[in-house]
Structure 1
Amino acid sequence: MNRRDVLKAAFALPFVSSVMTGGIASAFVATGKKVASAFRSRVRPGDPGWPSLAEWDRLKNEVGGRLFKLTSPFADSNSAACQNALKHIKNPFFIGDDPALTQTSGWADAWVSRPSAYAVAAESTADVVAAVNFAREHHLRLVVKGGGHSYQGTSDAPDSLLVWSRHMNKVTLHDAFVAQGCEGVHAAQPAVTVQSGAMWIDAYDAVTTHGGRYVQGGGCTTVGVAGLIQSGGFGSFSKQFGTAASGLIEAEIVTADGVVRIANACTNPELFWGIKGGGGGSLGVVTRLTLRTHDLPMFFGGMFGEIKASSDDAYRALIAKAIDFYQGHLFNPHWGEQMSFRPDNSLHISMVFQGLDQQGAQAVWAPFIDWVHARKEYVVTRPVQALAIPAQHFWDADFFRQHAPGVMVDDDRDGAPRNHVLWAGDQGQVGWFIHSYKSAWMPASLLQKDKQSQLVDALFACTRHWDVAFHYNKGLAGAPDEALAASRDTATNPQVLDAFALAILGASGDPAYPGMPGPGPNMADARDDATHIAKATDELLKVVPDAGAYVSESDYFQQDWQAAFWGTNYSRLAAVKQKYDPDGLFFVHHGVGSEAWSADGFTRVT
């Protein structure tokens, strides 16, 4: 399933306007608080304040020897490390197991993947506390990495100390969980506790394949659980179960003062709310999360196909039919994932469904398929067909090896866990170098009969410049009331509740880590792609000029990012940031409070 294939926001928000003009200090004044007296800059190697070797050794002893000085495997092109990295560079499990690498190798004219100076390979919450205290006391740039999937480059930073939680990956199932301090307030419920270094394939394997239940997580199996929850997070079936963040019951988090805090609806409730979609790496280091689990549907499945129109007029008619068909037949909790509209006048269908069997799903699509077959101006280049399997096998690696080899790709290293697989369609993201990437939530009002023609015109005009994919599972309009209510109680931009889809446009090139042998990124092609994507985006924005964007799948150069990512929730997030991290120890690009710092996070500007 090809997922990551977005858009400038111009959301007028008085609070955010004050932030943009007056910096984060204005935001904190607006919340009735003052910015703490704080250090003005962080230190780098060679600066007078950089820790001595003896001080680094003390930290190493405190974390049981698990402090490492990082070097990219591509630092020496003749080394065995370099050759091994080249061999496995399209294996996301290999990349995730190297603290010097990130799943994205860079973004044109934005950032490139460079390792932190040191990493604490945390195996316990105590290790995280030690790293946080050390970074605070020595004024270090601190970075947090679990899955390392950040498109924005927030999973590493040169001259920084990395808290690397990869080895904190335990998954524990609960038949009846009650959050601490909520006894007698909330009823016990089935849940799963996941340490922050776990990937979603770890959670799905335990909860679904072996536990027979469902947890709302991410579509890409190698994404980190903690990062997705903190970004809000969507999976293929979010139209039924809500955002991943909305399923959070409790978290353990180490805040900037080095205190280990429990956050849930009854204890530190504002911190708990901020963790649910406020962005990873801004409020603290999450060390474990407990998520509610759901009854598992009988079947999960997919609907795949491709149709090509013989002319521009026929393609416009096909777009119109697809939008109208979605509104009438697919705009409900059963359906997720995407339709892609492309410049070659083709429609690509790569959708998923839950709660239907294969025959039922095919019946839903029959009117659309019949309409296409009745018209000679369309060629079905790939039959539009449904496939369904028992839901318990949806992430079952052995099941796919036996019944559908090639749909999932193994971690190909000797001794790799048998459950460590990813969807073959996601392999294009592994190590990719992003040329451009934009997203925008599309309001459900555009599906009204009197608005569909405007949407169709914008979509067609968009495709004259670039592909655009509508990710229907990343807009919650049409979801059940329970899912909407839980998702409303998160920090994610409220626009997601009224959106029928997230529109995504993107382009990328092959892995291009600094020092990696080969020609490196083609910057001329990257900038040309970015130009075309910008033009395509402008066409789409004509019908959604105030569209917000999903923080984890958005433009690195996003304008008005506070409003785009969080809308009216940003002032509340700023207050949480001020309470738990007044000095700004935690910094990520376009994260809460980042207005107070230079682009590299080393110098305070307000």
Structure 2
Amino acid sequence: MKRRDLLKAALAIPLLPGLLSGIPAMAQAADPLPARLRSRVRPGEPGWPSAADWGRLKHDVGGRLLKLESPFAGCGPTSAGAACDEALKHLDNPFYLGDQPALTQTSGWVDAWTSQPSAYAVAAESTADVVAAVNFAREHHLRLVVKGGGHSYQGTSDAPDSLLVWTRHMNEISLHDAFTAQGCAGVQAPQPAVSIGAGAMWIDAYDAVTTRGGRYVQGGGCTTVGVAGLVQSGGFGSFSKRYGTAAAGLLEAEIVTADGRACIANACTHPDLFWAIKGGGGGSLGVVTRLTLRTRELPEFFGGVSGSIKAVSDAAYRALIARVIGFYQSSLFNPHWGEQIGFGADNTVRVDMVFQGLSQAQAEQAWAPLLEWVRARKEYELVKPIQARALPARHMWDAEFFRQHAPGVQVGDDRPGAPRNHVLWAGDQGQVGWFIHGFKSAWLPASLLREERQARLADALFACTRHWGVGLHFNKGLAGAPKAELAAARNTATNPQVLDAFALAIIAGDGPPAFPGTPGPKPDLAHARERAAAMGRAIAALRQAAPDAGSYVSESDYFERDWQHAFWGANYPRLAAVKRRYDPTGLFFVHHGVGSEAWSADGFTRVASG
């Protein structure tokens, strides 16, 4: 199906009777939103809730209604005030940023969005709090935003003049030895699982499941990412090539839908909504309050390989790229390996890989052929030796273990009284508060690894690096994964292209935090735009090898024009039908989320009946 036809189908699908089994009449009806409700209200406009209305909501949520203001609002040209000083002190601490309902982990994107707080937030501690917030937003025609971890690159976890459902405090975690989804008794065999509140971060999930529980749950690589957001976007982690996506591991979810009902979604109850939650994108279908994910046995070892190789000339670099691609195909294209190899504009290849189920000696043996080839040629230099390190798998997210054996690899929450397990990988520090200049991604099909096509891929990668560096994230493509994990991922809403992609190529650039109100120099927007243009040229060069490549919704271009096809491919019409069934008036809106084509860019004005 052509992209234009796909979009037309997506917009028309709610009007096509009987196209999908199980879609009730309400999903096939004409636009149910009366003309008088075609715009959401802003502060100061007629219909904005009165003080008494807000007071009733505050009562309904046990006092947990917050009027928001950025901690930088009181800053002047130089720091001024305790709130401003405290915020500036912790500007590089993602745990601090996540604890501020008025802030986000990304400070903005040039010419796209800047981090701005909602007007009010419900600091939800229970499903009842979420229900009250959803009902209030629907009844008063408010722009509604949902935030857990707040990591959205595209600004979907904040919006000015909105009501925020903030799930940060819904972070309970409980392990199950034998879980069966509601209504699935006799259909599904009980299995080990973990139930996680929507506001929990992955570091807390890993601490409970792996460090203390001795098992594994497929989640995100960045420890401060929210569990619910990652699962709903698809959910790649460092070991996805072995364990599939987090979405594919979802067994059950509790979700509050637009009608204010808390429902259970699993393979036996609301299966259409359950499918859509698994990769359909956060914030578009409802507010997920709890998730239950399958857990797995741990391998004996997890580990990593890092280092860098520099070529002395362009010709040598092109040959090195070709050699690395061939080496990946022959030695690393299997479930043991994940993470990335970066190809820089400075003619340097940077290795930052992880492995599972191998010993350190086995990992070193796997890399030996490439290292022998490099050392035998004077046109290459090992700028940083490529070294492998392994550790018992149970210690992978064990903060105390790293403090003792590898200080500096992790960075802790530096606030007094912070939980000792709250750490992030030092390599992720640069993303804290970053101001994005550009971000491009593309799934690269495994067919490019065939011997007769490797030269084409190497040429495209080299051409790309003449404009900007590119990283190949092998764990974000499922080609080479076990058949069972491919089958599970096929039963999610994620773009089916991921099943045959060996990697997600990422081209990105950013500047330092630029939250509105912070003192000091402002971003150089002209320079940022120049950098964004260079990234655009880079992805265009890379796409010469993969012209129809889709993109991962959570790591993609804010300005993606063909986002329905890029993010969900042939799954978009089905997603649109589920959206129509459970949110017919479009209460839930995020930028480039399912059904967002029916609304203005800010989500306040209805522009179509889709």
Q: Which TM-score applies when normalising by structure 2?
A: 0.96
1:182 and 2:184 aligned:
yes
Q: Is the 8 A contact 1:197 1:224 kept in 2?
A: yes
Q: Which position in structure 2 is the counterpart of 1:5?
A: none
Pairs within 5 Å for 1:263-302: 263-302=265-304
Q: Which position in structure 2 is the counterpart of 1:28?
A: 14
Among 578, 582, 595, which residue is 1:593 paired with? Answer: 595
Q: Which amino acid aligns with 1:73?
A: P
1:444 and 2:446 aligned:
yes
Kindly provide the CA deviation profile for residues 547-602 of structure 1, in whole angstroms up to 9, marking residues without a partner as x: 10000000000021000000000000000000000000000000000000000000
Q: Which position in structure 1 is the counterpart of 2:315?
A: 313
Among 536, 539, 548, which residue is 1:537 paired with? Answer: 539
- What secondary structure does 2:388 align onto? strand
Residue 14 of structure 1, CA deviation? 5.3
Partners of 2:523 and 2:29 in 1: CA distance:
45
Among 213, 221, 224, which residue is 2:223 paired with? Answer: 221
Q: Which position in structure 1 is the counterpart of 2:526?
A: 524
- What secondary structure does 2:508 align onto? strand
Structure 1, unpaired ranges of 5+: 1-10
Q: Is the 8 A contact 2:125 2:169 kept in 1?
A: yes
Q: Which amino acid aligns with 2:352?
A: S
Kindly provide the CA deviation profile for residues 262-307 of structure 1, in whole angstroms up to 9, marking residues without a partner as x: 0000000000000000000000000000000000000000000100
- What secondary structure does 1:306 align onto? strand
Kindly provide the CA deviation profile for residues 229-265 of structure 1, in whole angstroms up to 9, marking residues without a partner as x: 0000100000000011000000000000000100000
Partners of 1:497 and 1:586 in 2: CA distance:
29
Q: Which position in structure 2 is the counterpart of 1:8?
A: none
Instruction: Count residues in correspondence.
Output: 592
* Segment of structure 1 superposing worse, 154-163 or 519-528: 519-528
Partners of 2:364 and 2:247 in 1: CA distance:
32
Pairs within 5 Å for 1:298-447: 298-447=300-449
Q: Is the 8 A contact 1:15 1:27 kept in 2?
A: no
Q: Which position in structure 1 is the counterpart of 2:59?
A: 61
1:93 and 2:108 aligned:
no
- What secondary structure does 1:351 align onto? strand
Pairs within 5 Å for 1:82-121: 82-121=84-123
Among 139, 150, 153, which residue is 2:152 paired with? Answer: 150
Q: Which position in structure 2 is the counterpart of 1:129?
A: 131
- What secondary structure does 2:251 align onto? strand
Percent sequence identity over matched residues? 71
Q: Which position in structure 1 is the counterpart of 2:44?
A: 46
Q: Which amino acid aligns with 1:17?
A: L
Partners of 1:570 and 1:74 in 2: CA distance:
40
Q: Is the 8 A contact 1:255 1:581 kept in 2?
A: yes
1:12 and 2:20 aligned:
no
Partners of 1:501 and 1:50 in 2: CA distance:
47
Q: Which position in structure 2 is the counterpart of 1:3?
A: none
Q: Is the 8 A contact 2:70 2:117 kept in 1?
A: yes
Structure 2, unpaired ranges of 5+: 19-27
Q: Which amino acid aligns with 1:211?
A: G
Q: Which position in structure 2 is the counterpart of 1:74?
A: 72
Partners of 1:215 and 1:280 in 2: CA distance:
20
Q: Which amino acid aligns with 1:262?
A: I
Q: Which position in structure 2 is the counterpart of 1:37?
A: 32
Among 131, 140, 143, which residue is 1:141 paired with? Answer: 143
Query: Which aligned segments of 4 or more residues in structure 1 are displaced greater than 4 angstroms?
Result: none
Q: Which position in structure 2 is the counterpart of 1:257?
A: 259
Q: Is the 8 A contact 1:25 1:35 kept in 2?
A: no
- What secondary structure does 1:337 align onto? strand
Q: Which amino acid aligns with 2:301?
A: F
Kindly provide the CA deviation profile for residues 440-470 of structure 1, in whole angstroms up to 9, marking residues without a partner as x: 0000000000100100000000000000000
Residue 36 of structure 1, CA deviation? 3.3
Partners of 2:197 and 2:270 in 1: CA distance:
20
Q: Which amino acid aligns with 2:40?
A: R
Kindly provide the CA deviation profile for residues 140-178 of structure 1, in whole angstroms up to 9, marking residues without a partner as x: 000000000000000010000000000000010000000
Q: Which amino acid aligns with 1:45?
A: P
Q: Is the 8 A contact 1:282 1:588 kept in 2?
A: yes
Kindly provide the CA deviation profile for residues 210-229 of structure 1, in whole angstroms up to 9, marking residues without a partner as x: 00000000000000000000
Residue 26 of structure 1, CA deviation? 2.6
Q: Which TM-score applies when normalising by structure 1?
A: 0.97
Q: Is the 8 A contact 1:15 1:571 kept in 2?
A: no
- What secondary structure does 2:237 align onto? coil
Q: Which amino acid aligns with 2:149?
A: G
Q: Is the 8 A contact 1:233 1:245 kept in 2?
A: yes
Partners of 1:472 and 1:25 in 2: CA distance:
34
Partners of 1:448 and 1:535 in 2: CA distance:
26
Q: Which position in structure 2 is the counterpart of 1:465?
A: 467
Q: Is the 8 A contact 1:587 1:594 kept in 2?
A: yes
Q: Which position in structure 2 is the counterpart of 1:493?
A: 495
Partners of 1:176 and 1:27 in 2: CA distance:
39
Q: Which position in structure 1 is the counterpart of 2:172?
A: 170
Q: Is the 8 A contact 1:477 1:498 kept in 2?
A: yes
Query: In structure 2, do the counterparts of structure 1 residues 423 and 394 end up closer, same or farther at CA, with 3 Å as the change threshold?
Result: same
Partners of 2:382 and 2:307 in 1: CA distance:
8
Q: Is the 8 A contact 2:241 2:337 kept in 1?
A: yes
Residue 13 of structure 1, CA deviation? 3.2
Query: In structure 2, do the counterparts of structure 1 residues 420 and 31 end up closer, same or farther at CA, with 3 Å as the change threshold?
Result: farther
Among 222, 230, 233, which residue is 2:235 paired with? Answer: 233
Q: Which position in structure 2 is the counterpart of 1:7?
A: none
Q: Is the 8 A contact 2:256 2:289 kept in 1?
A: yes
Kindly provide the CA deviation profile for residues 376-404 of structure 1, in whole angstroms up to 9, marking residues without a partner as x: 00000011110000000000000000000
Q: Which amino acid aligns with 1:12?
A: K
Q: Is the 8 A contact 1:13 1:568 kept in 2?
A: no
Residue 543 of structure 1, CA deviation? 1.2
- What secondary structure does 2:188 align onto? coil
- What secondary structure does 2:567 align onto? helix
Q: Is the 8 A contact 1:35 1:582 kept in 2?
A: no
Residue 525 of structure 1, CA deviation? 1.5
Partners of 2:16 and 2:576 in 1: CA distance:
10
